[in-house]
Chains A and B, each alone.
Chain A
């Protein structure tokens, strides 16, 4: 089982290069629809990537300190950071040169080679605070192979008539058909699918139970000494900057997937920092042990999500890649995981009013939606290796592969046939 990993690079832009860099990113964006994708595809290990420029204006609220312009690169990939970055600069040397030539300290033209390029980029890596994967353990190769297998099976089932045959007979016929094709030799190997770690969950729950008195006191302190003094967001979507929202919309719903980039300023003080770090630890534990089957707190449309605390914990970025519309994504957040979101994001400035850390906030629909849109920024370049697949499709495709060769009962075989 391969590990998918996140990478975030935060690279300072040269003083006079902001405009130039914007233009290059604009060109990349246009290129991504045409031939640039091919290059990314060649890597064979890259699921998603994005670039954007971060500066003072990116934040809706005043940053903790004046910020210089920085180029942000974020990716989700298979394997190690070393291999990933080496792959990037090998497939894309001229693009990386053009982009990062606008950044400080990039090797001079005469000194550029795979090694120096890689070393430069890795230098700017920042740590991920929490990271969610919708289909844990699936490499890009596996996702693509299983997609091809599902299409092959679908064609076979659709092409033939199955009158009077039992589900088990049909399953066997599919199996034989797949076996005829050497291209699918790999599918003979079952892949492990992550299961919920119930013992781990029980231990975590017990720890929480023991800590409960402390947690309650902490939440009360937060409420009476912090939340009540908070400055809150009472924006409505209609009153946001029209141009900003239109620019965001211009890049949305072009495919079946979308992306979300949000940048936030943390509320000052250690109480907030301790709270957010505790919640991130909680989130990491849940993601590792519980949210392992394609749903993040019940939301079934997220491929990857990432929280990054940076600038000495003064600022936060949130990235996600998801299926369907912005509206569905945000409504899911409210309906299915409002409390979790509220717990984490209420530690950032100007969040809708909360009570006792987990209530109010995201449940204040209009203000929460406006807050979400108002703190979202333009992702200037975005790449998805498989925008034709939803996370439900990916999870389901693995089950098809695994069940194809199992000895299923008639009832199980009937369910198998409903997967495609």
Chain B
């Protein structure tokens, strides 16, 4: 296998680095009100975008476009048509709603942004800073520029990294991440994945180039662009770009811990915090501090851990340590599909990975069985990069999380992100905990995550941002 060298100075930094060194961030969701000015804005901003190589700056900035945004800039219909359908259509279609499970309280019509009732989003400008003052100062500069170039604010998502890396339910977040081969990031070899799973213009895990938007009609200064990697004469707007999924997920931490406390209480009816934490860990596949269940099956080691060096087949084939239905095991099955051996399973898993970029919004709060009543709304800004939204993000959300018949299970959706608020009458939603003898079942699962907004973005290369200013 010949490794293609990544053009890191062309790739937006947030894809390659997680920016944990920048605890504070704001995602501006904006609309172009004047295409000419909008293009000038792009010309101006293209030099300021943080790439995968410049990391010594005091703040970072990345940008992405929705399909409506590219159309508003004047990208010709034929060229818009070249993008993958998921991006062109966006997150809100009746089919996609079904696939992602955005119903009832999560109905797009009720969203704060990105839904049919909200103003159309064209572009997101994301800024990241080391402290509150710096980000505020940076934001002020940005807002002045938005005004200058006639960009209207649709919504602003203030967010931070998590204290101790733990999201509001109490669990350490984003421990297991793919490692893009050639990106310079290091990590476990099982997570080494070919760049084409995340970056357009490089070969993916199938050994082919991912579908990339090609210019079907000449437009703008196309001499800046590379050619189709597949060999046609067409120019490639996708090269070094990627797709970003953004979803605002409200976490009902009070509901969550009340439910778990109830399900794990002692025979005399009193709350058992240890049992409640253990049940939550079984559902997650890791202890709150991040330690994996396959290594610590019985007791919380009470440490903060980023341990990602484990597989399932040899250590826990029957799910006695980490249940098959747990969030971590089903959204990253590692080496354990029952139809294939460990090595082949690992290969299969690699075709459905996402680069997660998850941050916190709302009150800074880490809940536990005994403390779970934040004053303010809390939740996460779930973000992920992938080259094929349908085979990666949507696949994981539907086929592995929402689908209750994952593996040999009968009625087990992902207990964190797959439970339906109003299941069809007579449909049980359960979580099965394999035991040495009789399995334990947690029945009547409830949904504790509500979608409050979402959109699909295209994160182009630095050159393509500049190119877009010439169309």
Contact surface of A with B, Cβ cutoff 8 Å: 150, 154, 157-158, 162, 165-167, 170, 236-239, 242, 245-246, 249-250, 252-254, 256, 295, 298-300, 323-325, 327-328, 331, 334-336, 363-367, 390, 392-393, 396, 413-414, 417-420
Given A250-B95, A298-B340: A238 touches B318 (CB 8 Å cut-off): no
A-B pairs with beta carbons under 8 A, tally: 111
Query: Are B404 and A334 touching (Cβ within 8 A)?
Result: no
Interface residues in B, total, Cβ within 8 A: 44
What are 25 sample pairs from A and B whose C-beta atoms fall under 8 A apart?
Answer: A157-B439, A237-B85, A249-B95, A252-B95, A253-B98, A299-B339, A323-B405, A324-B405, A325-B398, A327-B394, A331-B391, A335-B347, A335-B348, A363-B207, A364-B208, A366-B208, A366-B209, A367-B208, A392-B408, A393-B405, A413-B437, A417-B438, A417-B439, A418-B319, A418-B439
Select from chain A the residue with minimum beta-carbon distance to B348: A335
Given contacts A238-B82, A250-B95, A327-B395, contact A298 B206 (CB under 8 A): no
Given contacts A237-B85, A238-B211, A327-B390, is CB(A390)–CB(B405) below 8 Å? Answer: yes
- Top 5 A-B pairs, shortest CB-CB distance: A365-B206, A390-B405, A249-B95, A162-B438, A238-B84
Give Cα A165 to B436, complex, Å. Answer: 11
- In the assembled complex, B99 has its CB within 8 A of some CB on chain A: yes
In the bound complex, residues from chain B placing their C-beta under 8 Å from that of A166 are 437
Q: Determine if B83 is an interface residue (Cβ-Cβ < 8 Å).
A: yes
The answer to whether A336 and B339 have CB atoms under 8 Å apart is yes
- The answer to whether A167 and B340 have CB atoms under 8 Å apart is no
The listed residue with most B CB atoms (<10 A of its CB), out of A295, A323, A392, A419, is: A392
The docked-state distance in angstroms from the alpha carbon of A396 to that of B441 is 18
Q: Which residues of A contact B395 (CB under 8 A)?
A: 325, 327-328, 331
What's the nearest-Cβ distance from chain A to residue B441, in Å?
5
Please tell me if B308 contacts chain A, counting CB pairs below 8 Å.
no
Contact with A along B190-221 (1 / 0, CB 8 A): 00000000000000101111110000000000
Q: Which residues of A contact B399 (CB under 8 A)?
A: 324-325, 327-328
Q: Are B437 and A417 in contact (CB under 8 A)?
A: yes
**Complex CA distance for A165 and B435, rounded to whole angstroms:** 12
Chain B residues in 8 Å Cβ range of A328: 395, 399
In this complex, what residue of B is CB-closest to A391? B405
- Nearest chain A CB to B432 CB, angstrom units: 9
Besides A256-B404, A256-B405, A390-B405, 10 more A-B contacts (Cβ < 8 Å) are A158-B441, A162-B437, A167-B438, A170-B438, A327-B391, A327-B399, A363-B206, A392-B408, A393-B410, A414-B437
A167–B320 Cα gap in the complex (Å)? 15
- Please report which residues of chain B, range 401-432, place their CB below 8 angstroms from some CB of chain A when the two chains form the complex: 403-405, 407-408, 410
Interface membership of B443, Cβ < 8 A: yes
Which chain B residue shows the least CB distance to A396?
Answer: B408
Q: Smallest Cβ distance from A388 to chain B, in angstroms?
A: 8
Closest beta carbon of chain A to B209's beta carbon, Å: 8
Within 8 A of A (CB), among B95-114: 95, 98-99
* B351 interface residue (CB < 8 Å to A): yes
Q: How far is the CB of A324 from chain B (nearest CB, A)?
A: 6
Interface of A is mostly: helix
Asked if B90 is at the interface (CB within 8 A of a chain A CB), the reply is: no
Is B362 an interface residue, CB under 8 A from the partner? no
* Cβ–Cβ contact B206 & A334, under 8 A: yes
Whole-angstrom distance between the Cβ of B99 and the nearest chain A Cβ: 6
Chain B contacts for A366, CB-based, 8 A:
206, 208-211
| 0 or 1 for each of B428-471: is its CB under 8 Å from A? (1 = yes) | 00000010111101010000000000000000000000000000
Q: Decide: B85 and A242 in contact? CB cutoff 8 A.
A: yes
How many angstroms between the C-alpha atoms of A418 and B435 in the bound complex? 8
- B287 to chain A minimum Cβ distance, whole angstroms, is 24
Q: How far is the CB of A395 from chain B (nearest CB, A)?
A: 9
* A residues near B319, Cβ cutoff 8 Å: 418
Are A365 and B403 interface neighbours, CB within 8 A? no
Instruction: Tell me, rounded to whole Å, the shortest Cβ–Cβ distance linking B93 to chain A.
Output: 8
- Shortest Cβ distance from residue A214 to the other chain B in the assembled complex, whole angstroms: 31
Residues in chain A near residue B211, CB distance under 8 A: 236-238, 366
- Residue of B at shortest CB range from A255? B424
CA distance A129 to B81 in the complex (A): 40
Return the contact of A418 from the options B82, B410, B434 (Cβ within 8 A). B434
Chain B CB count within 10 A is highest, among A254, A331, A364, for: A331
List the A side residues contacting B84 at CB < 8 Å: 237-238
A254 contact set on B, CB distance < 8 A: 98
CB < 8 Å neighbour of A245 from B85, B209, B351: B85
User: Measured between alpha carbons, how far is A295 from B337 in the docked complex, in Å?
Assistant: 13
State the CA gap A322–B236 with chains docked (Å). 37
Could you tell me the distance in whole angstroms from the C-beta of B437 to the nearest C-beta in chain A?
5
In Å, the complex CA distance between A327 and B211 comes to 16
Q: How many whole Å from B396's CB to the nearest CB in chain A?
A: 10
Chain B residue contacts of A165, Cβ below 8 A = 437-438
- A420 in contact with B206 (CB, 8 Å): no
User: Which residues of the partner chain A approach B348 to less than 8 Å between Cβ atoms?
Assistant: 335
A170 cross-chain contacts in B, Cβ below 8 A: 437-438
Note all chain B residues with C-beta closer than 8 A to A295: 339
Cβ–Cβ contact B437 & A335, under 8 A:
no
Least Cβ distance of B64 to chain A in Å? 18
Residue of B nearest to A397 (CB): B410
